Structure 1
Amino acid sequence: MQRRVAALVALLVLGSVTAGTVATGGPSTAALSVEPRNGTVSQLDLPDGNVSTEQQTLVDGDLSSTLATDRERLLMSIDAGGFERAFQASPNRSSRIETVQRTLDAVEIESRELRERRSEAIRAYTQGEYSTTELFRKLARISASASGIRERVTAIEATVDRSEFSMPPDVAARLSSVEAEVVSLDGPLIERVVQTTRADRAPGRFSLQTSADGIVMGTVDGETYLREATDWSARAEMGGNEFGTDGTLVAVHERAQSVYPWAFQNLVSNPSISGFGDSPIYPVRLNHAHGELETYFDGRTTDVFFEVQRLSLSSLPTTTVASERNGSLSIELTETTKRGLVAVDIVDVDTDDPVSATVTVGNETIGTTGANGRLWMLPVADSTTITASAGAENVSVTASG
């Protein structure tokens, strides 16, 4: 489909654009909600002053959520089967086109309803109407429905291809555009929540920020920090494509360079820039010195509305923010950025060897430092007490701003 063609065109077009050059003339001068980071890649944040809730939560198995997501996926698979039967039963070309158009009408309506359900759920959560568990359960169900829409689109494409039916270009472009409608609804963080509630993953700790305009989630997975952010205020439902129609992908590339200068100056591989049919949504994917970036621009605002980052913790720059010693144990806290990820290092001061210790925040056990004496964990609030225990000894430190 056209989405795949756009990706191939990007590889050819971008060869004439110098990676690392920050564009000085972009299609928009709108204020950005993507904030720069000192010595690493910029990140999409909720606008200053708009964060309504900020907390961490432990997600574990939840049978009711599992059953709910299974039901959503089953309904979508039934709908996909219904389309194939209707398409094959269509007596002529015009009837088949009408069947595809009618199915796309329904899918687009469902996609809009899913986006509305997600924004309503998060707004209700920020107003205290839902618990964190209830919010994740609702987001998991919405994610399952969004994944089902993608599967239904794939099934439509497969049915059409098997029949050797040639769709009109405008219908093909519309089909390719549907996936853009559910971007941000079934990202990797929510997928991990789903896998955890299904017991396909061990329980995990997630950070969560919400506002009326979006949501930011993060989790530490071994030596990788996975972060997902959505800012609906940066996405418009109507309006023209400010990236234009000629040289669109080049304009997107220049915009991405201006928003993520560090990432483009520290590329590991060439970026991939593509589109979804005739939709004004453009995904940009690249590998940089600190990890992977997947970000989505809306051509109507030229801003980022959805972003996924996978960062290698060992490569991130850190700053020591606190340290203490008690007996033979020493504890040191380092942060990647202001109020960023925290590394806890425990050392035997007599031998200077790393110590495997159990780390608690307040009264809650977070994990162990392991053989290398280090444990990465999600950001902690100022004045939080962090304690490490090894055998009969323990040492505590207070996080400070």
Structure 2
Amino acid sequence: MKALPLVVVMLLVASPVLGAVGPADGSAQATALDEPAPAQVQSPSNETIHVLDIPSSQLVRATVEPAHVDLGPSLGFAGLDASVEVQSRASIERIESAGDDSTRQQLILDEINSIEQRAIALQSAQRSAVEQFNAGELTARELLVELARIDAEARGLNERRVALRELATETPDFSINSGRLAALERELDTFTGPVRKYAVLVMTGESDAARFSVRTSETGVVLGVVADGEYVREAYRAGLRNRDQSTVSYEEALDIVAESYPTIYSSRAAQNGTNVISAGDSHRVRINYDRGQLTAYVDAGSGRVFKESQTRPLGSIATGAVATEVKDGLALTVDRTYPGGPLRIQLNESGSDDPVDANVTIGLEASQESTLLGHTGTDGTLWTVSPSSPYTITVIKGNSAVVLTTSPTPMPDLVMNTTAEANDSAAMMTSTPTESTSSASVGSEGAPPGPPAVI
């Protein structure tokens, strides 16, 4: 596998077509591009926010899992944190107490090798967890716990990586290739995400209970949650990676993100809105824009976005796909969204339009059971994540009740992924047919059609 040089590009202002060229000698470089920036948009746009997700043809399982404080995982996370910290301290003390510089240098290299080997083990553990969930050997809760555990360990390993970098800097006549350390950081990024981190906070009692959307393919996983006034999602699709080559430059990586997320890119912040870091076999592109933050990882071999995380304040989310039911003086409105997306439930009095506080339950079309989501509160509003199949919302207030059955909207997949997958499908149709064709089975929830949502 060919390693890319470390290239850091701070894009205070950027256009979709870059004029900057990276260094020819492979050294690190920071570049600011001074081109006209788009105006800051103050109100939510009515354009679609695209997301990295799993195509319906590759979806294996999809569900929504409620999570709350859990003593078992909580103790496990505490033990893991303690273990990683003890190991890190022991490693640092061993290096600092080395009798000579040569021994100190070797110990630092040994520790970096150890982190690289552990990263390989985490990759295997993540793949195994998804495979077990798909096979029904792990529940959605158990998958969340395992992914959160992997996240916590990866963050701890990265902290040790940073400490080793500082120790190397303090060691006379010694340095570690910055590209190697940056590539290790990018690899550890593969196992972390804001939803996994929030799952740890929920299970340890540091945050309120929440409902997590879980969607998986054979090698990918997409998670989503509404937490602390924000909609947060993360996605990882290992099948979009090609580690055998590195041909995509950081300029091309930004172009790929600009084309894949046109609304986000066009509304990026005028100052410090875009940041690109290239290392190892991937490019990390981070964009702050008027409706939230996007972090997208572009594979240097395939030129595809294979990992993303998005954080969006609920106040910035608009929708054009509304379902309403009025009965017994109650008006129930559901701002529909795609599977795993931010779902808004609004309850008002049908006559006065005053908000109504009442308990809300949700049930899947294929199930006879309903789950309590919570209550709408004084503003009559309740946010959650959307199921992946048709669902029924039920609200009961005293002797009044209103029931609404609806479906999620189509997935607003990345522009480039939609094009690439269409080309892949066309290529398969023109290829020599095999004896049989199999597709991934959909688990407890499918992905039905519906009108597009604007969020």
TM-score by length of 1: 0.85
Query: Residue 214 of structure 2 contacts residue 340 of structure 2 at CA under 8 Å; is this kept in 1?
Result: no
Code of the aligned partner of 1:262: T
Q: Which runs of 5+ in 1 are unaligned?
A: 21-36
- In structure 1, distance between residues paired with 2:172 and 2:260: 42
- In structure 2, distance between residues paired with 1:110 and 1:338: 34
Code of the aligned partner of 1:260: Y
Q: Deviations over 1:266-320 (max 9, x none)?
A: 12344332336x4232221112232111111221222212111112333333124
SS in 1 for 2:287: strand
Pair 253,320 (structure 1): closer, same or farther in 2 beyond 3 Å: closer
Question: Partner of 2:193 in structure 1?
Answer: 187
- In structure 2, distance between residues paired with 1:85 and 1:383: 57
- In structure 2, distance between residues paired with 1:381 and 1:242: 34
* 1:378 correspondence with 2:385: yes
> Residues 30-109 of structure 1 correspond to what in structure 2 (within 5 A)?
39-109=47-117
Query: Residue 295 of structure 1 contacts residue 307 of structure 1 at CA under 8 Å; is this kept in 2?
Result: yes
More helix by share: 1
Q: 2:276 aligns with which of 261, 274, 277?
A: 274
Query: Residue 134 of structure 2 contacts residue 216 of structure 2 at CA under 8 Å; is this kept in 1?
Result: yes
Q: Deviations over 1:86-138 (max 9, x none)?
A: 32344444433322222111110100110110011111101111112221222
Question: Partner of 2:398 in structure 1?
Answer: 391
Query: Residue 276 of structure 2 contacts residue 283 of structure 2 at CA under 8 Å; is this kept in 1?
Result: yes
Code of the aligned partner of 1:56: V
* 1:150 correspondence with 2:151: no
Query: Cα RMSD over matched residues?
Result: 2.6
- In structure 1, distance between residues paired with 2:10 and 2:230: 32
Pair 373,176 (structure 1): closer, same or farther in 2 beyond 3 Å: same
- In structure 1, distance between residues paired with 2:48 and 2:134: 30
SS in 2 for 1:360: strand
Pair 339,290 (structure 1): closer, same or farther in 2 beyond 3 Å: same
Pair 194,384 (structure 1): closer, same or farther in 2 beyond 3 Å: same
Pair 145,291 (structure 1): closer, same or farther in 2 beyond 3 Å: same
Pair 282,59 (structure 1): closer, same or farther in 2 beyond 3 Å: same
Q: Deviations over 1:220-272 (max 9, x none)?
A: 125321111111112233322421xxxx3x33322221221111111234433
Q: Which runs of 5+ in 2 are unaligned?
A: 13-29, 39-44, 364-369, 408-449, 451-455
Question: Partner of 1:110 in structure 2?
Answer: 118
Question: Partner of 1:132 in structure 2?
Answer: 140
Pair 52,382 (structure 1): closer, same or farther in 2 beyond 3 Å: closer
Q: Deviations over 1:312-369 (max 9, x none)?
A: 3333331244222212111122224588433222221221222222211133211222
> Residues 325-340 of structure 1 correspond to what in structure 2 (within 5 A)?
325-337=326-338, 340=341
**1:160: Cα distance to partner?**
3.5
Question: Partner of 2:259 in structure 1?
Answer: 258
Pair 135,291 (structure 1): closer, same or farther in 2 beyond 3 Å: same
- In structure 2, distance between residues paired with 1:18 and 1:395: 52
SS in 1 for 2:49: strand
Question: Partner of 1:365 in structure 2?
Answer: 372
> Residues 156-171 of structure 1 correspond to what in structure 2 (within 5 A)?
156-161=164-169, 163=170, 165=172, 167-168=174-175, 170=177
Q: Deviations over 1:170-224 (max 9, x none)?
A: 2x43223221111131211111111111111121111110111211111112532
- In structure 1, distance between residues paired with 2:162 and 2:383: 39
- In structure 2, distance between residues paired with 1:370 and 1:152: 44
Code of the aligned partner of 2:254: H
Q: 2:183 aligns with which of 177, 188, 199?
A: 177
SS in 2 for 1:200: coil
Code of the aligned partner of 2:312: L
Code of the aligned partner of 1:293: L
Question: Partner of 1:231 in structure 2?
Answer: 237
**1:371: Cα distance to partner?**
2.2
Q: How many pairs align? A: 374
SS in 2 for 1:44: coil
SS in 2 for 1:122: helix
Code of the aligned partner of 1:398: T
Question: Partner of 1:344 in structure 2?
Answer: 345
- In structure 2, distance between residues paired with 1:124 and 1:271: 39
**1:372: Cα distance to partner?**
2.2
Code of the aligned partner of 2:240: A
